[in-house]
């Protein structure tokens, strides 16, 4: 499907692929023919992007996971925030 859109007012006309491929479509001056985006293309693009990111990384070992868990686990985040606030409070009070 394709749409004919004239800016700034969006006038839409749905055309079949067959009509476009057969050359049976005349686009008036001031209008342009735009292909309707494939709704699954964004998902395919995101999959490709994530696969590329994973290809550039190595799987973490157990030690790295433990260290990461200590910095991101909610208990340690709250504890670190509390320690920082206490430290800040002791220096400024």
DSSP bridge pairs for 14: 3
DSSP H helical segments within 26-73, as ranges?
Answer: 41-55, 62-72
Residue 37 binned pLDDT confidence (cut-offs 50, 70, 90): confident
Mean pLDDT, residues 29-54 taken together: 89
For 64-77, the pLDDT digits (tens) are 999 999 889 999 99
Q: What is the pTM of this model?
A: 0.45
Q: How many CA atoms lie within 13 A of 19 on its CB side?
A: 12
Query: Would you give the DSSP letter of residue 40?
Result: T
DSSP H helical segments within the chain, as ranges?
Answer: 17-21, 41-55, 62-72, 74-92
Comparison of pLDDT for 52 and 88, the residue scoring more? 52
For 6-29, the pLDDT digits (tens) are 555 556 677 788 888 888 778 888
d(CA 21, CA 5): 19
Q: What is the pLDDT of residue 83?
A: 92
């Amino acid at each position: 499907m394709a749409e004919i859109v004239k800016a700034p007012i969006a006038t839409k006309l749905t055309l079949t692929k067959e009509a476009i491929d057969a050359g049976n479509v005349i686009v008036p001056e001031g209008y342009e023919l735009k292909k309707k985006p494939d709704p699954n293309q964004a998902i395919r693009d995101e999959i490709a992007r994530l696969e590329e990111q994973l290809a550039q990384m190595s799987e973490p070992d157990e030690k790295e996971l433990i260290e990461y868990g200590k910095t991101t686990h909610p208990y340690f985040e709250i504890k670190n925030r509390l320690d920082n606030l206490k430290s800040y409070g002791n220096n400024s009070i």
